Structure 1
Amino acid sequence: MIQAETLDLLEWPRLCQHLSTFAATKLGAIAARHLTIPTTLDESLGLLAQTKEVYQLESRLTSGLSFEGISDIGEALERAERQGLLTGEELFAIATTLAGARNLRRVIDNQTDVPVLTELVAELRTYPELEQEVHRCIDERGKVMDRASPKLGEIREQQKQVRDRVYQMLQNILQRQSNAVQEQLITQRSDRFVLPVKAPQKDAIPGIIHDTSMSGATLYVEPHSTVQLNNQLRQLLRREQAEEEAVRQVLTTQVAEVKADLERLLAIATTLDLATARARYSLWLQANPPRFVDRVAGENVTLRNLRHPLLVWQQQHEQGRAVVPIDLMIRPQIRVVAITGPNTGGKTVTLKTLGLAALMAKVGLFIPAREPVEIPWFDQVLTDIGDEQSIEQSLSTFSGHIRRISRILEAMTERSLVLLDEVGAGTDPSEGSALAVALLKYLADQAQLAIATTHFGELKALKYQDDRFENAAVEFDDVSLSPTYRLLWGIPGRSNALTIARRLGLKAEITTQAQQYVGGASEEVNEVIAGLEAQRRQQETKAQEASQLLEQAERLHRQVSQKATALQERERDLQLAQERAVQDAIAQARGEIAQVIRQLQQGPMTAQEAQKATNALNEIAGRRLPSKQKPAPPKPAFRPQVGDRIRIPRLGQTADVLSGPDDDGELTVRFGLMKMTVKLQDVESLDGQKPEIVAKPKPAPEPAPVEVKPAPVIRTSRNTVDIRGSRVADSEATLEAAIREAQSQGTVWIIHGHGTGRLRQGVHEFLKHHPQVERFELAEQAEGGSGVTVAYLK
């Protein structure tokens, strides 16, 4: 009972109604409007895991999870089990639901990081054979198709033939008796084809009158000549209906046989739709997933920038005013929080916001607060908010509150959240204050957390008597005489009645007299609280400035990182461009060298031609090879001089140089009254420069003998042999002769071509075992590539 009252007081049904608008199916919307509050922590964790995984899919997939085709087939399943006959529309809805569920399972099975959803759809049976059979027999309008049975197709073919004959006969009558009919029209009455005949001309077309127009001017006549055909058509129609029912009966029986699995499918689809609605609603709220904390283990309640979800909806859809977020930071030892402040200052909204946040976390919804969102799991949320007056029961406001609080205390456990609005109000202030103090102390012993709003000053002092109590206040703007709806922690709220009265123009003598009744102590307390509020505002301003500076630094860091990345990419592009330029130059140089070699091969081998070729190669080298640049002179290093002041890092001292470094790299220094000799490498300048270490000259080694490399052999017609088209066995004699002739030049080019490669393999095998061949390799691409082998002779 009290749980239902709490949900109504917190306006939980309104939140569920908002959630239902994000559901994709009718059953999902119904489930959202009637959310079941879990009774165990494991249930809440399971629902929260579903919401998180769907949230990931909604962010990853282009169109999110699709529930297209899934509809409420529950009533159809029940009627099928009771051997009722399903309509074509119901059967088609079952088929589309099976297809929609199978598509859902396929999408989820294709994901690798949604274990909870994967386990949920693992039990899904979609019966594709039943779906295919329904689609074979029933079209999208719910009509039984001709192909459903051969007999049905025959009946409908006969109907078409008879209908065509009736139409033809009636059309002939219309042409012959055009003056007797009201209009050239063939219509139906009681499933029989008739003609609209003018009442005065009824004898012109003798037949059976089936209907009369409202004015009586038109009679709907079935001519005698078509009566027999219409009768035949009626008989065919009844046979068609019977055959359609037989088809639907077969399909209904198949549905009834798997009714349990289809109900399970419907439940899983509804669970998925509800999880999707929770994820989409959370995304719309810009909410974050909660973490359930254990206050007994010393964890805080952390709800920063918490917004009331109903006020967010009102702002977005009903042009409401901006929502002011609140911060709830409750230490683990705090069991009771007393919130004070002026009326309409937001105290009640704070209670409702926390209550809704606790319920949202329990049902698997994200909470509209900034990360991290940390809240305990409460087994019950119990509230006493608003007036409860009953004229019929003669209950005053105070009586109504007491009765509800009594029910709260009866239902409360040690893991409950209790929210009390204006505790102790509605009766004598002194007695009400005493009752409120006793009640809050009882809640501190029995409940996990209690939040109470009050105007009683005695409740503000509980914090200083018991460390389980905390104060909070809703801020009030003295200039505009209006609340800011911000929640301030650690300080009690001020009493603003006399201040507001003065500024609203109440006579000064009245407010002065009232101040005397209250006493000076009250004014002093208000001044102290005002000072605390001002200090809090200064701290918040500084924190905001620090946050802005941090954000600016992070933005500058991102900009520098982006510029560094751009420079690295530019350097890489330049390096690639240089490499391409070098490759192009090498390729061009190779082409010029190949041209020189071809010119040598075309003419006789003479010393003059060889010298020309050498000169051409040197010219190419001079143009293509990069010129050597002298290295930049090294930057002079630090060298201590007499009178310089230096630092000795290993001693942590600074000293004056008395003598410069000698040949052994030692120098004399003084620090304080001490003189000592130190190594040059043990000192540095005051700005951190290391000294230049001059190494002793070593005797010059004897010059190594210079290896004179032989000049490259140039290919000519004398050291080139062409064996293309020869067999391996026949070419060996030719190769032997070519090797003897090229012995003086040391190299022979063998042109064997590409072909199948067998000739090349035979040549390589011959060269491998020849005693005069030192090594061999394929020629460069410009010299023939894999179609030419170069053999180097000993």
Structure 2
Amino acid sequence: MIQSETLELLEWSRLCQHLSTFAATKLGATAARNLQIPLSQEHSEELLAQTKEAYQLENSLTGGLSFEGIQDIGDALERVQRQGILTGEELLAIATTLAGTRQLRRTIDNQPDVPVLSALVADIRTYPEIEQEIHRCIDERGQVSDRASTKLADIRHSLRQIRSQITQKLQNILQRQANAVQELLITKRGDRFVIPVKAPQKDAVPGIVHDTSTSGATLYIEPNSVVPLGNQLRQLIVKEQAEETAIRRALSEQIAAVTSDLEHLLSVATIIDLACARARYSYWLKANPPRFIERGTGEIITLRQLHHPLLVWQFAHEQGAAVIPVDLVIKPQIRVVTITGPNTGGKTVTLKTLGLAALMAKVGLFVPAREPVEIPWFDQVLADIGDEQSLQQSLSTFSGHIRRISRIINALSNNDQNLSPSDPRPSLVLLDEVGAGTDPVEGSALAIALLQYLADHAQLSIATTHFGELKALKYQDERFENASVEFDEETLSPTYRLLWGIPGRSNALTIARRLGLNAEVVEQAKTKLGGATEDVNQVIAGLEAQRRLQETKATEAEKLLQQVQRLYTEVSQKASQLQEREAQLRQQQEQSIQQALVQAKGEIAQVIRRLQQGTTTAQDAQQATDALSQIAQKHLPPPPKPKPGFKPQVGDRVRIPRLGQTAEVLSAPDEDGDLSVRFGLMKMSVKLADIESLDGQKAEVVTTKKQVKEAQRSSTKQDSPVTPSSSLTIRTSQNTIDLRGNRVADAEMILERAIAPAQGPVWIIHGHGTGKLRQGVHAFLQQHPRISHFEPAAPEDGGTGVTVAYVE
């Protein structure tokens, strides 16, 4: 009885009515209005799993799951079990239900990750053969169709012929006796065809009078000539009805044979519709799935930003006030929470909100709170909320409370003989104004004793009170906790916020002063309270001020954190945009370079073809080369700076690669580039080109005086005039290119830039190595239009490790 009382006090039926509006079928709506509370946590877990999968499908499928065609065929199934004959409409409803359920099963089977719903539809049978037979025999209007049987088709063919004959005879009579009839009209009275005849001229049309008009001026007569045809028509109609009944009986018998399967099918469809209704309602509430916790293992009840679902509905549909959520975070050792504070401060709403949240989780609904939603599974939710006054039973407010609390204690006492205070029943008890309605001293004592009893016998109890003595229980028993509803002294109104750890203080005198009560009376009342009470109120006021200060700081810190996160997001986005822009620019630059190189190579190829054809002059080749040089200078990156050459000093350790020895330098290089080295006991003279540093650097080649003199003699010959192509042949750093360490492709680019402005010989250092770089250089020089010829350098200039190319 107390369970049903609790549901009524929490207005559970209103929530179920709201839920029913989200159902797609009549059966689902009926099931929602009569929602059953599960008796086990396993059942609740199963319902939650159904809701989660339905929630997933509602969000992933366009329009959600379809229940089109599924109807309430329960009465029809019950009647066929009693050998009743179904009507055409009932048979058609069964056929559409079979089709709708088959489509529902097909949709669920095609979706991934819905094992619970898939298991529900796995064993249902939709009997497509019965559905097809019904559609063959019953048309869309619910009438038996001609194709149902040959006999019925013959009967209806005869009926049409008889009706045609009757109509033709009556038409003839109307034409012959036009003066005697009221109007040229053929109508029916019952199953008989008649014509309207003027009463004074009834003898002109002999026959059977079946009806008379209200005024008596018109008689509806069946002429004697069509009476036999009318009799035949009546007999055929009886045969038609008998055949239709036989067809519907046969279909009803087929359905009666599979009634149990169809009842199961209907049950599964209702379960799925109810799961979808829970999902849609949860989505509308912006609720989140709960997780059932075990407080005995140290888990905390967490319900942050918990909204009252009925108030949310009232705000959305009935222009109610905005809903102020509450935070309920209850540690595992807490068994009793006492909420104090002013009237109309939201204490009772808090009780109802928690009670509804516990029930919603049990029936598989999501809870309208912020994630995570963590709540125990309560086997009972028991409440004493509001007054239970009765003039007829002479019950006062106090008596009503005591009677209901007695029923709560009895419910807790049933079947808990084997439970200890450390392991109470998983019940939730909600008490509003505990101990009220009687002498304050006795009421307070009774409330303390009751709450201590509940701490031993219920897993969690929430009680609202005005008794100050209950606030001290927290400091006597660790299983108790205080909470209060906040009160704004400036506006003299509650804020409906729930504050934890701080008991509410009396605001009666403050409110009285603000409302204009005589100050002398208020001060006199203070003296009656005693100093201890005033001290307690001051302590509570200090705690509240400290809490407000901490909340302000927390709010500021939260705003600062949000600002930092926003700035971090903006910087990250800008960095990503810059990286993308840089990548785009790099790609565009590479594309431009590639296009320029392709164009330049095309021009070179044209010049080469003209040269091969013998029609191109040197001036044309020079112009093409100059154009290529300009493109290279514009688009290609600058050539790498040449590495500084190695200059051996006396005492340095050097490597002689051709001998495979490491030696010590005894003398600096002379004007011919020779120096003395010693390795072991041997001394010898070597060329600079034959040594390198220990880290692999080649020695810097010096220009000998002999080379300078030969160059000067060559430039002063009178029989060899100076031309742009006969530049100095002295080797310097300007006409020397060091390609060592580069790939062939990179070497070609460096050579192209170096050859463009050059005139005369160019010394190209490629080294020996594997020989691939030298081969690549020679291949490039071989096809270059400005290179007349090339040859290995003199031994003193590097020999085969250096190539001298002559630029025209």
Output the TM-score relative to the length of structure 2.
0.76
Counterpart CA distance in 2 for 1:195 and 1:274 is 58
Counterpart CA distance in 2 for 1:137 and 1:39 is 46
1:416 equivalent in structure 2: 427
Is residue 548 of structure 1 aligned with residue 611 of structure 2?
Answer: no
Shift of 1:480: 2.0
Is residue 268 of structure 1 aligned with residue 268 of structure 2?
Answer: yes
1:448 equivalent in structure 2: 459
1:77 equivalent in structure 2: 77
2:779 equivalent in structure 1: 709
2:519 equivalent in structure 1: 508
Q: Write the letter of the residue equivalent to 2:542.
A: G
SS of corresponding position for 1:449 = strand
Counterpart CA distance in 1 for 2:81 and 2:451 is 57
User: What is the 5 A alignment of 1:293-308?
Assistant: 293-308=293-308
1:557 equivalent in structure 2: 568
2:674 equivalent in structure 1: none
Report if aligned partners of 2:44, 2:362 keep a CA contact under 8 Å in 1: yes
Identity score, percent = 69
- The verdict on how the C-alpha distance between 1:543 and 1:181 changes in structure 2, with shifts beyond 3 A counting, is farther
Q: Write the letter of the residue equivalent to 1:232.
A: Q
SS of corresponding position for 1:58 = helix
2:509 equivalent in structure 1: 498
SS of corresponding position for 2:222 = strand
User: What is the 5 A alignment of 1:585-604?
Assistant: none
1:135 equivalent in structure 2: 135
CA-to-aligned-CA distance 1:428-487 (integer Å, 9 cap, x gap):
111111111111111111110111111111101111111111001111121222211111
SS of corresponding position for 1:343 = coil
Is residue 226 of structure 1 aligned with residue 226 of structure 2?
Answer: yes
User: What is the 5 A alignment of 1:619-634?
Assistant: 621=628, 627=634, 628-630=636-638
User: What is the 5 A alignment of 1:332-347?
Assistant: 332-347=332-347
2:292 equivalent in structure 1: 292
1:539 equivalent among 524, 541, 550: 550
SS of corresponding position for 1:140 = coil
SS of corresponding position for 2:297 = coil
Q: Write the letter of the residue equivalent to 1:15.
A: L
Shift of 1:618: 4.9
User: What is the 5 A alignment of 1:4-403?
Assistant: 4-403=4-403
1:737 equivalent in structure 2: none
CA-to-aligned-CA distance 1:333-376 (integer Å, 9 cap, x gap):
11110111111111111111111100000111011111111111
Report if aligned partners of 2:607, 2:616 keep a CA contact under 8 Å in 1: no
Shift of 1:576: 4.9
Report if aligned partners of 2:17, 2:32 keep a CA contact under 8 Å in 1: yes
Shift of 1:323: 0.7
Shift of 1:711: 8.1
Counterpart CA distance in 2 for 1:343 and 1:515 is 21
SS of corresponding position for 1:709 = helix
Q: Point out the more displaced range, 58-67 or 591-600.
A: 591-600
2:436 equivalent in structure 1: 425
Number of aligned pairs? 651
Counterpart CA distance in 2 for 1:179 and 1:326 is 89
Q: Point out the more displaced range, 30-39 or 143-152.
A: 143-152
Shift of 1:562: 3.5
User: What is the 5 A alignment of 1:738-777?
Assistant: none
CA-to-aligned-CA distance 1:629-652 (integer Å, 9 cap, x gap):
436999xxxxxxxxxxxxxxxxxx
Report if aligned partners of 1:76, 1:90 keep a CA contact under 8 Å in 2: yes
Report if aligned partners of 2:206, 2:223 keep a CA contact under 8 Å in 1: yes
- The verdict on how the C-alpha distance between 1:191 and 1:576 changes in structure 2, with shifts beyond 3 A counting, is farther
SS of corresponding position for 1:438 = helix
Counterpart CA distance in 2 for 1:249 and 1:616 is 105
Counterpart CA distance in 2 for 1:421 and 1:72 is 42
Shift of 1:261: 0.8
Shift of 1:546: 2.5
Q: Point out the more displaced range, 321-330 or 176-185.
A: 176-185
- The verdict on how the C-alpha distance between 1:584 and 1:458 changes in structure 2, with shifts beyond 3 A counting, is same
2:793 equivalent in structure 1: none
Q: Write the letter of the residue equivalent to 2:332.
A: P
Counterpart CA distance in 2 for 1:51 and 1:101 is 19
Shift of 1:586: 6.4
CA-to-aligned-CA distance 1:159-212 (integer Å, 9 cap, x gap):
222222222222333333334333332221112222222323323322211112
SS of corresponding position for 1:322 = coil
Counterpart CA distance in 2 for 1:341 and 1:283 is 34
Report if aligned partners of 2:44, 2:364 keep a CA contact under 8 Å in 1: yes
- The verdict on how the C-alpha distance between 1:629 and 1:50 changes in structure 2, with shifts beyond 3 A counting, is closer
Q: Write the letter of the residue equivalent to 1:456.
A: F
Q: Point out the more displaced range, 28-37 or 184-193.
A: 184-193
SS of corresponding position for 1:419 = strand
Gaps of 5+ in 1: 635-694, 715-794
Q: Write the letter of the residue equivalent to 1:133.
A: E
Shift of 1:595: 6.6
Counterpart CA distance in 2 for 1:269 and 1:276 is 11
Q: Point out the more displaced range, 618-627 or 115-124.
A: 618-627
Counterpart CA distance in 1 for 2:780 and 2:539 is 102
Shift of 1:589: 6.3
- The verdict on how the C-alpha distance between 1:533 and 1:185 changes in structure 2, with shifts beyond 3 A counting, is farther
Counterpart CA distance in 1 for 2:605 and 2:179 is 106
Counterpart CA distance in 2 for 1:119 and 1:132 is 26
Report if aligned partners of 1:596, 1:616 keep a CA contact under 8 Å in 2: no
- The verdict on how the C-alpha distance between 1:709 and 1:221 changes in structure 2, with shifts beyond 3 A counting, is same
- The verdict on how the C-alpha distance between 1:209 and 1:581 changes in structure 2, with shifts beyond 3 A counting, is farther
Q: Write the letter of the residue equivalent to 1:525.
A: V
Q: Write the letter of the residue equivalent to 1:447.
A: A
Please give the root-mean-square deviation of Cα atoms over the aligned residues, in Å: 2.8
Report if aligned partners of 1:476, 1:483 keep a CA contact under 8 Å in 2: yes
Q: Point out the more displaced range, 195-204 or 72-81.
A: 195-204
Q: Point out the more displaced range, 9-18 or 516-525.
A: 516-525
Counterpart CA distance in 1 for 2:110 and 2:626 is 66
Gaps of 5+ in 2: 417-424, 643-694, 702-764, 769-773, 785-808
Counterpart CA distance in 2 for 1:589 and 1:229 is 107
Shift of 1:84: 0.9
Report if aligned partners of 2:607, 2:621 keep a CA contact under 8 Å in 1: no
